Amino acid sequence: MKHYYLFTGLFLICWCNAHAQDDASATLLSAGFGHVSIADTTALDIHLSNLFYTSEEGGTNIFRSQGAKFAIPAVCITYGLIARDNNSPIRRFDRYIGNQVDEHIKHPFRIDDYLQYMPAVTAYGLDFLPAISAKHNFRDRTLVMATSYLTTLIIVQSVKYQVDETRPNGHGYSSFPSGHTAVAFTGAHILYKEYKDQSPWIGIGGYAAATATGIFRITNKAHWVNDVVTGAGIGLLSAEVGYMMLPVWHKLFGIQENKGQMVIMPAASSRSMGVGMVYIF
């Protein structure tokens, strides 16, 4: 049963990273910074949102600094760089996990090829549901997505080309870092930032899907643990770059405040059915 505990531990590590802000919130509350009853979850969400989340109107917010946004990506990427040392404990841990996977898991699960895109698709799809709206309009989300994924692609492919790490299954030399995990965490972080004011569970679901993608990459013997951790860091970093570049694109293209409109109209006849969409920038 040892290998099951190992994979559960990996999942919990990534889960704790995704909840780092919530843990900090609880610490401050217990220290006397907040005066909200834990039983009143609605009031607690509002209080934590005002205290920790980015606010356009200003006010106290310990995560407003640029450095705080890059803390977790920096830790993940540093972890991967340290693992490049063949004599490091992290490297030995990688090899141990790889041996456990090779011994106990015989059949790959290819769901990670599709799961990596789920957070990004959700970031678009949720906006079509009643009473749920993203922070940015369709145009700005597209600009953020394009910038973020272009950054992900450039970083991942550049590092793969330079490192030439052999995969655990011995097929190919592009193991480091994990592109699937980077793609998944890019989408998950965008999903979180777009809908965090609607419900924290939306972001949690995105991070869970991204974490599952990374775990499947390990169990499918396509990547080492440090490949996945580094990929997660690159994904988070790329999403932050996408949002940082959004005002630049607005200025460069002369984009004003959001006046866009979208119309979706179904069409049907005796021989065909379809749907049409018009978006006015």
Please tell me the total number of residues recorded for the chain in this structure.
Answer: 281
Rounded-to-integer distance, Cα 217 and Cα 227, Å: 9
Q: Amino acid identity, residue 270? A: S
pTM of the model: 0.71
Over residues 215-231, mean pLDDT: 96
Over residues 135-142, mean pLDDT: 95
Instruction: Write out the two tokens for 252.
Output: 């460069």
Check if the beta carbon of residue 141 is closer than 8 Å to that of residue 195. Answer: no
Q: What percent of the chain has pLDDT over 70?
A: 67
Helix, strand, coil content of the chain in percent (nearest 5):
65, 5, 30
Cα Rg of the chain (Å, integer):
21
Q: What is the pLDDT of residues 74-112, one digit of tens each?
A: 999 999 989 888 788 888 998 999 999 989 888 888 899
The residue ranking higher by pLDDT, 124 or 33, is 124
Check if the beta carbon of residue 155 is closer than 8 Å to that of residue 185. Answer: no
pLDDT of residue 178: 97
Instruction: Write out the two tokens for 96.
Output: 């141990």
Instruction: Write out the two tokens for 108.
Output: 């790959």
The C-alpha angle with vertex 114 and arms to 96 and 149, in degrees rounded to 5, equals 90
Query: Mean pLDDT across the chain, nearest whole number?
Result: 77
pLDDT of residue 2: 40
Least confident of 16-30, 61-75, 135-149, 224-238: 16-30
Instruction: Write out the two tokens for 127.
Output: 């906006």
Over residues 139-153, mean pLDDT: 97
